[in-house]
Chains A and B, each alone.
Chain A
């Protein structure tokens, strides 16, 4: 798949709108120019005191038309412009979503998800500026440039050439110089601003530590010094932009004076009517308004580059994933058949290691955590339908990798992992009807509570949603909300505690109704009482499902059919609670942490 640009397809798709915007933009300037032109002509003509007032009837009407017309056209131009941009924005969003969607599960292990997604969505917002601030004004300026030179050229090619030179300074020379002068500084500024942002965020997040350390003044002095550095660059950029503005005005002045001389001479030669002197001189001012902002528009170009580069980076990361060997994916009916047959999870001595080469090639920073430990060695599982298994291990022991293998997100390097006799990876997107996941931080969307639960099964009835909420023991919470199940999450805001959020997510999973449920440390961060209560709700409501439960504590493991201890990618201990208690002193010590009186 060849990468599409983040620019051209939107121009092609909206070609007629773009054309309309440019035409309206040109008209706006032309009308403003014509207002001054006809005004100049009108009073000059009137000063000759024509016999009949009808002689100036046309310019009189023209003055009014152009005056009102310029306001109206400008208004329409801005509306059409923004409408088009918003259309492009929505196309870009859809495209970004479609790029991210297939890699969703791999993304979280690859990047710091929250940061990245925020940045990408900002990038797209930023790209819309390309059009409004850079593309449209530049094209309008170019069209006007060509038009004016052509029109003047019909009268006097020599003067047209002179004008072409003047305006070229405004729309070519100055922007180019500006770009060369400021490119590096602008890049430095952006970099320095990012650094400041990180530095300050870092300090504010660690404010407790700064506070205790008594070194606040030291930080502040350092931070202010950095700010001063940025300010210095900013100052020199602004100084240039002021100077550039003044140079631009000098060109305007020179153009006006040249126009005075040219029209004076034309009149003296008798090749131009006297009434046109004022008209030609006055038209210069509004027309030049179209050319002055081009420098600023062009100066912005490098700033878009970074956003585009980032978007392209994420796109190419996606492509590298697609290079994997194509799998024979299951369709809906086949998945249904597997589910009906009872999904037995089996793994026989699977091995897994990350492909280093592929992992290193991403344009975006990968998470730096010790991936070295994320390798699985000789892991075997045999989980019959409705069995309950707990998985315990340190961070980096390989738990997450094991879960990703079970979900078919990763494929084992050797050995096979099957669900109901079918390779896990072959389920593709159908996996969500086989396995549901309750993780540490399920996302609650900014919609109503009922809609959040409904996500488990969109076609669920109100009745089913209420039942699911009841099973997750959400009733006391629902009763306390002003709008019950129809309360928006935003309104409920911070009132949702960690335990309550997990219950909402649990209700969602109950609706999803899959034979297997993965619990990925759902109780981290909860206090012991909430932890116990949530676990007892989870266990009672999910009695008839297979449970694969990654846990950090041993509370509730007595209920499991098997407890697996993972260490360095291997299974270090396994058995029921009673077996482990009998055979392993280490297990006893650990268990005592959760049951302090033993």
Chain B
């Protein structure tokens, strides 16, 4: 344990400093015991308190030094843990925000947030405790034992024999506890989740008329949970019991043994007292390791999980980067020599050839061999059944994902790793439920253009049809919205996103199912607003609400991850292919 910490900045110095502190502490422990034993045995032999004043003062000094050094050592470890945790968090967040949405989706929002906030805390605890505990367990018992052994061989042997027994028992009990926990892990999880599950389903229970009766089941399950937990704890606590038991037994044996030899006259009081004082100190570091074992293990695992993410993300990026440099070289037109820019112009032509996307692991590809050519203006509809790959295509177009095969070109320039960032600054993306940040309405609108003036914000708000809402809010534009403020309806949220897009002034609009979840009246009005704002923009709109298609200049029809057909609404209707099938199935009423 602890080897992984060596990789962090300043770790070696910290290891060294902690080692020095531990050594100094061990010396202080020995001296403190020595002087206390001397003072007591002198008093015992009839010496006066005045004569022993110096020894007692020395004891006091050693004792305070010991704890003072301990405090300093704690400070060093805490500082190191804090810095290490911060650096790990920085790396993690940077990768997170650089690699973007696909990563968060695969890990889950809740998991990511917990990992960053709680994981770092646990990891810090691990970083803080591990080095001092390791050093403590490695250095102090050895020194104490050596001193005891030199003072009295028999006591030294008793202590030496106890240690391995203690450790073996600790491991055995630990294994037994883990086995037992694993055996009942499933039922245990079910029991512990039951209460939250019940609360979340409370409305449903109420509708079903079962909510009152259910309180009985809560009581019952809680009891079951208690019984299961106690079964585990009975074994789990055995490990600290073993520690206690063997330590105490060993100290008691040493004491009794010392007593017997004192009676024989083969030993003096001073060494006996010294050993008695030192015996608990011999076991203390190991007991501390045992006490902190679970906390450090938790932190170690959290740290490993985060390091793994950072490593994977870096690996992925470095692979993408080598690919990108190759592509850019490939792209530089020999005649001009100027750096190609991935920038939209009216004359741009977007060309996808053989684009495919296969998610990690087995399973069918999300997109396969997608190829089309589109001139740089107008409104392009993307339709298909659920699972046909509409959203994936939109995300690929926005550069949020890297295709696993094929290439995307804008006016002959390939979209590589470095150009993807440039490209992203050209596009606006509007998902089905755009995210509203917990901030003022104004700041939400300003998101893509933080420097926009008040007048510009107002113009965008007006154009997006939000003026009425803004006027009805007590705070107007400064009203807080999002998670920490006023909840907006789905239609209002879409309008905020629309205002955001307008103010951003970006020319390329990517929309993923913007209206399907809205009530039909809101949908109708929003459609009117959106269509008027689509003028002069390059719009890609993926949806299964086919009414939009009448207003599209060009339609791409996806079927099972492939492009089935392309054309205008009328052309596609005339073909009587996949698109025609989609339209007619929507025309059928409900039986």
14 contacts between A and B (CB under 8 A): A40-B276, A44-B44, A67-B252, A202-B437, A206-B437, A210-B97, A245-B67, A257-B59, A260-B39, A268-B48, A369-B488, A439-B207, A554-B520, A594-B547
Contact residues of B between 434 and 488, Cβ < 8 Å to A: 434-438, 447-448, 450, 472, 482-488
B29 shortest CB reach to chain A, Å: 12
**Residue B226, interface by CB 8 Å:** yes
Q: How far apart sit A87 and B588, CA to CA, in the bound complex (Å)?
A: 59
Residue B333 at the chain A interface, CB threshold 8 Å: no
Cα-based distance from A394 to B244 in the complex (angstroms): 68
Interface string of B486-503 (1 = CB under 8 A from A): 111111000000000000
> Whole-angstrom distance between the alpha carbons of A204 and B491 in the complex?
22
Known A-B contacts A202-B438, A207-B104, A443-B204; A597 and B251 likewise in contact (beta carbons under 8 Å): no
- Contact of B44 with A278 in the complex, beta carbons under 8 Å: yes
Which residue of A50, A71, A277 is within 8 Å of B248 (Cβ)? A71
- Is the pair A539, B437 in contact by a Cβ cutoff of 8 Å? no
What does DSSP make chain A's interface, helix, strand, loop or mixed?
Answer: helix
Across-interface contacts of A206 in B (CB, < 8 A): 435-437
Residues of A within 8 A of B472 (CB): 370, 372
Cβ-defined contact, A213 with B448, below 8 A:
yes
Q: In the complex, how many angstroms separate the beta carbon of B77 from the nearest chain A beta carbon?
A: 10
CA distance A118 to B93 in the complex (A): 26
Instruction: List 9 other contacts, CB 8 Å, given A211-B101, A252-B63.
Output: A43-B273, A47-B268, A59-B259, A70-B248, A90-B223, A100-B202, A224-B93, A445-B201, A592-B547
Contact between chains at B252 and A257 (CB < 8 Å) = no
**Given the known A-B contacts A208-B400, A246-B68, are A394 and B225 also in contact in the complex, defined by CB atoms under 8 Å?**
no
Interface contact B117-A253, CB-CB below 8 Å:
no
A67 near B484 with CB under 8 A, answer no
Segment 172-225 of B: residues with Cβ below 8 Å from A? 190, 193-215, 218-219, 222-223, 225
Q: Give how many A-B residue pairs fall within 8 Å (CB-CB).
A: 427
Interface string of A511-527 (1 = CB under 8 A from B): 01000000000001101
- Quick check: B524 and A200 within 8 Å, CB to CB? no
Inter-chain contact B229/A113, CB cutoff 8 Å:
no
The contact of B212 among A94, A204, A429, A530, by CB within 8 Å, is A429
Q: Map CB proximity to A onto B245-268 as digits: 1 under 8 Å, 0 otherwise.
A: 101110110011011101101001
- Binary B-proximity of A221-258 (CB < 8 A = 1, otherwise 0): 00110011001001100110011011001101100110
Of the candidates B70, B112, B190, B222, the one whose C-beta lies within 8 Å of that of A94 is B222
Minimal beta-carbon separation of A535 from chain B (angstroms):
5
B54 within 8 A of A: no
Q: Are A94 and B263 touching (Cβ within 8 A)?
A: no
C-alpha spacing A458/B209, complex, angstroms: 10
Stretch at the interface among A73-81, A155-163, A467-475: A73-81
Within 8 A of B (CB), among A116-171: 117-118, 120-121
**B398 surroundings in chain A (CB, below 8 A):** 212
Which of B297-305, B362-370, B425-433 lies on the face that meets chain A? Answer: B425-433
Chain B: number of interface residues, binned into ranges: 35 or more
Cross-interface CB contact of B262 among A46, A72, A104, cutoff 8 Å: A46
Q: Do A39 and B255 touch (CB < 8 A)? A: yes
A396 / chain B contacts, CB cutoff of 8 Å? 489
CB <8 Å contact, B248 and A121: no
Known: A117-B199, A556-B590. A394 touches B252 (CB 8 A): no
B89 touches A527 (CB 8 A): no
A260 touches B40 (CB 8 A): yes
Task: Quote the shortest CB–CB distance from A120 to chain B (angstroms).
Answer: 7
B586/A117 in contact, CB under 8 A: no
User: In chain B between 98 and 117, which residues have their CB closer than 8 angstroms to a CB of chain A?
Assistant: 98, 100-101, 104, 109, 112-113, 116-117
Q: Which residue of B lies closest to A241 (CB)?
A: B74
A74 surroundings in chain B (CB, below 8 A) = 240-241, 244
Is A75 a contact partner of B204 (Cβ separation < 8 A)? no
Say yes or no: is A569 at the interface (Cβ < 8 Å to chain B): no
Q: Is the CB of A64 within 8 A of B252?
A: yes
Nearest-CB distance from B97 to chain A (Å)? 4
Given the complex, which residues of A lie within 8 Å of B263, measured CB to CB?
46, 49-50, 53, 56
The reply to whether B517 and A525 contact each other, CB–CB distance below 8 Å, is yes
Kindly specify which of A379-387, A413-421, A430-438 makes contact with the partner chain: A430-438
CA distance A70 to B246 in the complex (A): 11
Shortest Cβ-Cβ A-B pairs, 6 listed: A432-B209, A90-B222, A443-B201, A67-B252, A46-B262, A67-B248
